[in-house]
Amino acid sequence: MKSGRLPPGNHISAFRVCSPSGELPIPRYYFHARSHEKFQADLEGTELASDQEARAEAIAAAREIIAEHILAGDSVDGHVFEINDKNGRVVERIPFRSIIVD
């Protein structure tokens, strides 16, 4: 290895594992919905660049759901998005009520 290059394979870059091509993996987030006794699991997830993007995505989706509930005359009390990473770690819980502007 006189050229100073690393051999092919996975390498650590900025404390994240890189693919052989050198690209960083994109994290996958799961947006589980909870309301009172109900739980709706997101089995597919969505690839987003960061926890902050996942939070913004959850807020945008919650606003759409809130609008549908308001039009139907339903309450959103008790509705929560639970954002999980691929390991099942809860990144954030976003109560729908916290999104509504008074």
| Long-range pairs, 60-69, Cβ under 8 A, ≥24 | 61/31, 62/94, 62/96, 62/99, 63/99, 65/96, 66/96, 66/99, 66/100
91 is a domain residue: yes
Tally of domains in the chain:
1
pLDDT confidence band for 42 (50 / 70 / 90): very high
Six token digits for residue 90:
């809860």
Per the model's pLDDT, the better-predicted residue between 64 and 5 turns out to be 64
Q: What residue numbers bound the domain in which 36 lies?
A: 26-98
pLDDT higher than 60, residue 69? yes
pLDDT higher than 60, residue 3? no
pLDDT at 20: 54
Residues 6 or more apart whose Cβ sits within 8 Å of residue 1? 7
Q: Write down the residue that tokens 């976003």 correspond to.
A: 94
20 is a domain residue: no
Q: Please state the rounded mean pLDDT for residues 45-68.
A: 95
16 is a domain residue: no
